[in-house]
Chains A and B, each alone.
Chain A
């Protein structure tokens, strides 16, 4: 046998070509975007002045910040609650190992639609459709939640052990009972994990949708930016950091309770 036929690893020519193309594109795009050292040095100076004007943070309008923050939290909690609730059945319908093809493909199509746009773009659409305010933000984040949770939930279901499902089915259990005892116990911890992660995301996104008029702390933040009130901006940013941090602690606690 010739040495060539005894190569221990088969080379993958296509993968190698792919890496080469990627590297070439990165260099090309970098050169195109006026990415110079000089601009970076200048930028540092601007940044320093910007941060200087942020200090000390101005909490004088704390009641307005609190009001905006409360609204953002409401948007996040309501959107998470509704989004998680709707994701459960949609994720189930999208699982190809449990559902006939036409059902799972329609559910997958709907999920893909939810994922297609950034929440802020969806929020713009809803602001146009149902007017300014928190409701538009809630609707936008519900769609974002479905796009994330339902997709990952469906994928988790597709990885379950069908032997456990088969055993439950063999007892004469109906479809829903098979889901409750054969399927959900296998995926519940992961579902809790996705949900709490999305809750985190929703808290962060709920501070964003206000910029396009969909309610919450985003609107005062945007106004403060436009008036160059950088000390107010700093106060709002600090509040957002505090809330996001608390949300993360809560998520971790919830995950621990459910063993996710």
Chain B
């Protein structure tokens, strides 16, 4: 089984465009290769298509044209159950956590296994013992041991995002997408969540594609920065290469840089 595209990239985006309205492209031909290891942060002003780009990968948003190669398949061409099988391999962490509020932490984690379990077994909560075992281990790992039976709506923002990360890891994914994972959190919790994300991704060797507002946070945790502006990539390189001039190019204006 080939886990990666021929040239060794885990994810290969080629000429991706998206138009919500005809003639008004949000993404204008994005091409990116994501390495099998490490964290890639996409930064850029609001409305520049960062979320759209990430959501095109697991097809929560339908791309207009282009190709997305992942584990030997072009994700943009998948339909029905083939798409489901591909989604199982891609974990996602959301800005507003998107936990099922009325379910327990354990049930939320097991949501990560729903692609592997028949509806009848899911309805009866009959998950394989190995899945439950793994869920308890991941709860330890994200620092929520003992929270299994708490309902998700009783947790704080930081705790919820830890559940969100654990849920994504439950899938044993080959790629982790994170859509503004810290934008609803305070600065201290944001740092904690970013270090947790980096740590678990490293331990499980999963590449992470994350988009974020916070340039400093991105520089601190990412191995690679992709700067987007107007639906196109305008910077792609290490955090150290991110100068005021490039930031100006990404965000425009300059008073905020002083």
B167 within 8 A of A: yes
Task: With both chains docked as a complex, state the minimum distance between the C-beta of A159 and any C-beta of chain B, in angstroms.
Answer: 14
> How many chain B residues touch the partner (CB < 8 A)?
33
Given contact pairs A166-B60, A185-B100, A177 touches B114 in the complex (Cβ within 8 A): yes
- Decide if A249 is an interface residue (CB 8 Å cutoff): no
Q: Can you list 27 A-B pairs, Cβ within 8 angstroms, ordered by A?
A: A161-B101, A164-B98, A164-B99, A164-B101, A167-B99, A167-B100, A167-B111, A168-B114, A169-B87, A170-B58, A171-B111, A171-B114, A172-B86, A172-B89, A172-B90, A173-B84, A173-B115, A174-B119, A177-B114, A177-B119, A178-B114, A181-B122, A182-B100, A182-B111, A185-B100, A186-B100, A188-B102
Q: Is B119's CB under 8 angstroms from A171's CB?
A: no
Tell me which residues across on chain A come within 8 A of B114, comparing CB atoms.
168, 171-174, 177-178, 181
A241 to chain B, nearest CB (A): 37
Query: Contact flags (1/0) for A2-17 with B, using CB distance below 8 Å?
Result: 0000000000000000
- Name the prevailing secondary structure of the B interface residues: mixed
Given contacts A171-B87, A171-B88, A171-B167, whether A181 and B115 have CB atoms under 8 Å apart is: no
Question: In A173-207, which residues have CB < 8 Å from any B CB?
Answer: 173-174, 176-178, 180-182, 185-186, 188-189
Note all chain A residues with C-beta closer than 8 A to B171. 171-172
Within the assembled complex, what's the spacing in Å between the Cα atoms of A176 and B101? 19
The reply on B3 being an interface residue by CB < 8 A is: no
Report A189 CB to chain B, min CB distance, Å. 8
Q: Please report which residues of chain B, range 109-158, place their CB below 8 angstroms from some CB of chain A when the two chains form the complex.
A: 111-115, 117, 119, 122-123
Whether, in the assembled complex, A163 has its beta carbon less than 8 Å from a beta carbon of chain B, the answer is: yes
Residue of A167, A169, A172, A178 ringed by the most chain B CB atoms within 10 A: A172
A177→B98 contact, CB < 8 A: no
Given A173-B114, A176-B119, 11 more A-B residue pairs with CB atoms under 8 Å apart are A166-B94, A167-B111, A167-B164, A169-B60, A170-B87, A174-B81, A176-B122, A177-B117, A181-B122, A185-B103, A186-B101
A residues near B117, Cβ cutoff 8 Å? 177
Chain A hits for B71, CB < 8 A:
none
Question: With a CB–CB cut-off of 8 A, which chain B residues contact A173?
Answer: 84, 111, 114-115
Q: Which of A167, A181, A188 has the most CB of B within 10 A?
A: A167
Q: Say whether B122 contacts A172, CB under 8 Å.
A: no
A174 and B94: CB pair below 8 A?
Answer: no
Which residues does chain B contribute within 8 Å of A167, judged by CB atoms?
A: 92, 94, 98-100, 111, 164, 167
- Shortest C-beta distance, B155 to chain A (Å), equals 14
Q: State which of A176, A178, A186 has its C-beta within 8 Å of the C-beta of B102.
A: A186
Residues of B within 8 A of A186 (CB): 100-102
Q: What class of interface size applies to chain A in its complex with B? A: 20 to 34
What B residues does A181 contact at CB under 8 A? 100, 103, 107, 111, 114, 122
Tell me the chain A residues, 145-172 only, with Cβ under 8 Å from chain B.
161, 163-164, 166-172
- Say yes or no: A171 contacts B107, CB within 8 Å: no
Task: Give the CA-CA distance A181 to B84 in the complex, in Å.
Answer: 16
Which chain B positions have C-beta within 8 A of A180? 119, 122-123
Q: Is B248 an interface residue (CB 8 A)?
A: no
* Interface status of B96 (Cβ within 8 A of chain A): yes
Task: Say whether B85 faces chain A, with CB atoms less than 8 Å apart.
Answer: yes
Contacts of B87 in A (CB 8 A): 169-172
Question: Does the CB pair B115–A174 fall under 8 Å?
Answer: yes
- Cβ of A177: which chain B residues have Cβ within 8 Å of it? 114-115, 117, 119, 122
Taken together as a complex, chains A and B put the C-alpha atoms of A231 and B59 apart, in Å, by 71
Q: How far is the CB of B187 from chain A (nearest CB, A)?
A: 24
Q: How far is the CB of A174 from chain B (nearest CB, A)?
A: 6
A149 vs B119: C-alpha distance in the bound complex, in angstroms?
24
Interface centre among A163, A171, A177, A188 (most CB of B within 10 A): A171
- The CA-CA distance from A166 to B85 in the complex, in Å, is 16
Nearest 8 Cβ contacts at the A-B interface:
A172-B115, A172-B88, A173-B114, A167-B98, A172-B87, A176-B119, A177-B114, A185-B102
Q: Looking at the assembled complex, report how far the CB atom of A164 sits from the nearest CB atom of chain B, in whole angstroms.
A: 5
Most buried by B among A166, A174, A182: A174
